[in-house]
Chains A and B, each alone.
Chain A
Amino acid sequence: GENVEQHPSTLSVQEGDSAVIKCTYSDSASNYFPWYKQELGKGPQLIIDIRSNVGEKKDQRIAVTLNKTAKHFSLHITETQPEDSAVYFCAALTSGTYKYIFGTGTRLKVLA
């Protein structure tokens, strides 16, 4: 079945450094890829998304890149801050069934 792999599972960075989280998907017809941030005790919140007709999208300190040929997409956070600490999930919208397959999550810790 469809699958999304996410790496790393945990990531610690110093405040001010950059963080990169990578995901690989299996359904080559997937065309929408959102990223979610989940803080402790809360539901996932959308932080950025990308559709397959573009290769990169940026929103202030957050950017997402997509390589459709290789079937992978990445989240880049620059100038990290302690409040960026959370669990981040990537997801891919499958074709046909229109359901989201989520990655296994990355626990990001930004050390002050």
Chain B
Amino acid sequence: DTAVSQTPKYLVTQMGNDKSIKCEQNLGHDTMYWYKQDSKKFLKIMFSYNNKELIINETVPNRFSPKSPDKAHLNLHINSLELGDSAVYFCASAPGSTDTQYFGPGTRLTVL
């Protein structure tokens, strides 16, 4: 009964490839997020969706495109992967945009 799940857990790929990470929450939350955690453990928000609508879009290259097919899912598609995209990507969800967030287990992306 995982609350926030992400697939895959590990992703190793070559530079220039396109890849997607999927996130699902079964908590009935309205708000979902994508965060990037770099090698120094810094956690930085990338995107936030509320009821399938984009509400936060940080300064992220447009190679990153989030998609929310319904409010329980928020996927992250990355085009033309670069070495600097290597990081752990966390999905999170919350009842609303001012409520406590619950994080998924993370996806470790390695770009070779």
Q: How far is the CA of A44 from the CA of B103 in the complex (A)?
A: 6
Write the B30-73 contact mask toward A (1 if CB under 8 angstroms, else 0): 00000000001111110010000001101000000000000000
B110 lies within 8 A of chain A by Cβ = no
Indicate if the CB atoms of B56 and A99 lie closer than 8 Å: yes
A-B contact count (CB 8 A): 47
Q: Contact: A42 with B98, CB < 8 Å? A: no
Number of interface residues of A (CB under 8 A): 21
What is the number of residues of chain B that contact chain A, defined by CB distance less than 8 Å?
A: 22
Residues of B within 8 Å of A43, CB to CB, are 4, 90, 92, 103-106
* Beta-carbon contact of B97 and A42 below 8 Å: no
Which of B43, B56, B98 lies in contact with A93, CB distance below 8 A? B98
- Are B41 and A105 in contact (CB-based, < 8 A)? yes
| Least CB distance, B40 to chain A, in whole angstroms | 8
Docked complex: A2-46 residues within 8 A CB-CB of B: 32, 34, 36, 38, 41-46
Interchain CB contact under 8 A, A100 and B101 = yes
Q: Per a CB cutoff under 8 Å, which of B48, B58, B100, B106 touches A42?
A: B106
Contact indicator A97/B56 (Cβ below 8 Å): yes
Closest B-chain residue to A103, C-beta based? B43
> Taking beta carbons and an 8 Å cutoff, which residues of B are in contact with A?
4, 40-45, 48, 55-56, 58, 90, 92, 97-98, 100-106
